[in-house]
Amino acid sequence: MTSVRKRSVSHRLSTLRSDLAVAGLDALVVTHLPNLRYLTGFSGTAGAAVISHAQCLLVVDFRYETAARALVADLPQGLIDIRLVERTYDDALGDALVESVTGRVAVEAASMTVGRFNRLADVLNREQHQADRRSVLVPAERIVERRRAVKDAVEIDTLREAARLLSAVARQVPSMLRPGRAEVEIAADIDMAIRHGGFERPAFETIVAGGDNGARPHARPGKRQVRDGDWVVLDFGGIYDGYCVDLTRTLPVGAGALELSRVAAAVLEAHDAAIAAVKPGARPSQIDGAARQVLAGHGLADAFGHGTGHGLGLEVHEDPRISKLPGALPDDPVVPGMVFTIEPGAYLPGVGGVRIEDDVLVVEHGCEVLTDVPIGF
Ligand code: ZN
Ligand code: ZN
């Protein structure tokens, strides 16, 4: 672990503890793996932590014991302690709770099953009959996610490099797109280019959707062959050092049907308007509104049914959500250090669709577009 990473673990744990104190909480049970990685540096496919004001207990099973011990050995002594799972994660978490915390213990409501919640609550209740202690589980949301939305300098460097690598992949895509090739073949080529391009793996299932398939925003690539006159939506991403980037281009094959050329021009205008609206203090609903207003002006209000963007980081969809629904989701103004996509689209059932997606970083006076790929039409 680099010294920078060590500093971030210490810093993130102390930030979490102040957030818990402000919320009147005595501990947090971390079960959402991206949050676990963010806070401790541990990146297994299973694991959990109980973080109180005095202690951080990292709960792992035997598969990850060596990795977890190496990680902890590199940190200041006592910053993180390891608890090995002997029977089940629930048992180990229950033991860790009983030993290390009292008071109001937050759990991550978005990632904890009702079954696990009940089992942990049972353990605490049983224990409370035997000892003079009072603990209660409190469902909580977005405690860690809120902090993750604002990237630190190391994360920004990682995302900038990831976006540069994904842009290099995207520049190879036009040569993969030829009449007669099936969507699945093109998707496989893109996935290969992502792996060869320096990524751990694709960040999600690559979308290649030509012709009227393009009218479905999350179409899965099928056997349909690309034809002259198609517009093809190509949406793909990669994970680099744990961090996700995401990009879409919609490319015409041959001349591209005229009907969608007009739509493509409108989506590009909406994309540019949304990017121009990104600056510190802008609310997500305003950035989304900038794109939506342009599309409405072209008679495409009903053709744009999803949000304008989503945060990028250890997850491919995270805070902030750039959407039109203030209230349903937090509409707090964006701040420097946030990284998210701008991806307006327009979808005409039976005809086709167009989406254009780039990744932006909020900076002091506006935004820096991290991806750098020709629009392609
Ligand atoms: Zn995408
Ligand atoms: Zn996206």
pLDDT digits (tens, 9 = 90+) for 331-364: 899 999 999 999 999 999 999 999 999 999 999 9
Mean pLDDT of 79-88: 95
* Ligand 1 mean position, distance from CA 322 (Å): 14
What DSSP line would sit under 191-251, residue for residue?
A: HHHHHHTT-SEESSPPEEEEGGGGGSTTPPP-SPBP-TT-EEEEEEEEEETTEEEEEEEEE
99 falls in which pLDDT band (50, 70, 90)?
confident
* Ligand 2 mean position, distance from CA 183 (Å): 19
Write the single-letter amino acid at 51. Answer: I
pLDDT at 267: 98
Mean pLDDT of 54-61: 96
Q: What is the pTM of this model?
A: 0.94
Instruction: Give the percent of the chain with pLDDT over 90.
Output: 86
* Ligand 2 mean position, distance from CA 334 (Å): 18
pLDDT over 70 (residue 266)? yes
353 in Cβ contact with 252 (< 8 Å): no
pLDDT at 325: 72
132 falls in which pLDDT band (50, 70, 90)?
low
* Ligand 1 mean position, distance from CA 237 (Å): 7
- Condensed to tens digits (0 to 9), the pLDDT of residues 20-32 reads 999 999 999 999 9
* Ligand 1 mean position, distance from CA 246 (Å): 5
pLDDT over 80 (residue 117)? yes
pLDDT over 60 (residue 116)? yes
pLDDT over 70 (residue 3)? no
Across 55-59, 126-130, 340-344, least confident range: 126-130
- Condensed to tens digits (0 to 9), the pLDDT of residues 176-198 reads 999 999 999 999 999 999 999 99
326 falls in which pLDDT band (50, 70, 90)?
low
- The set of residues, in sequence order, having a beta carbon less than 8 Å from that of 66 and lying 6+ positions away, is none
Instruction: Output 126 or 37, whichever has higher pLDDT.
Output: 37
pLDDT at 328: 58
- The tokens describing 294, both together, are 């342009």
Strands 201-202 vs 56-60: parallel, antiparallel or unpaired:
unpaired
* Ligand 1 mean position, distance from CA 244 (Å): 10
pLDDT over 90 (residue 269)? yes
Nearest ligand to the CA atom of 322: 2
* Ligand 2 mean position, distance from CA 307 (Å): 10
* Ligand 1 mean position, distance from CA 87 (Å): 40
Residue 148 to residue 310: CA distance in whole angstroms: 13
* Ligand 2 mean position, distance from CA 317 (Å): 7
239 in Cβ contact with 260 (< 8 Å): no
CA distances from 349 to 269, 280, 295 (A): 21, 36, 16
pLDDT at 262: 96
Q: What is the DSSP letter of 326?
A: B
pLDDT over 60 (residue 327)? no
- The tokens describing 288, both together, are 């989304």
Q: Hey, how many other C-beta atoms are within 10 angstroms of the C-beta on 118?
A: 12
CA 21 to chain centre: 27
Nearest ligand to the CA atom of 312: 2
Mean pLDDT computed over every residue of the chain? 94
* Ligand 1 mean position, distance from CA 342 (Å): 9
Length, in residues, of the chain: 377
pLDDT at 184: 97
Nearest ligand to the CA atom of 306: 2
- The tokens describing 258, both together, are 């005229």
Mean pLDDT of 225-240: 96
* Ligand 1 mean position, distance from CA 248 (Å): 5
pLDDT at 126: 83
Nearest ligand to the CA atom of 249: 1
Instruction: Give the percent of the chain with pLDDT over 70.
Output: 97
Residue 292 to residue 290: CA distance in whole angstroms: 6
- The tokens describing 256, both together, are 């591209």
pLDDT over 80 (residue 128)? no
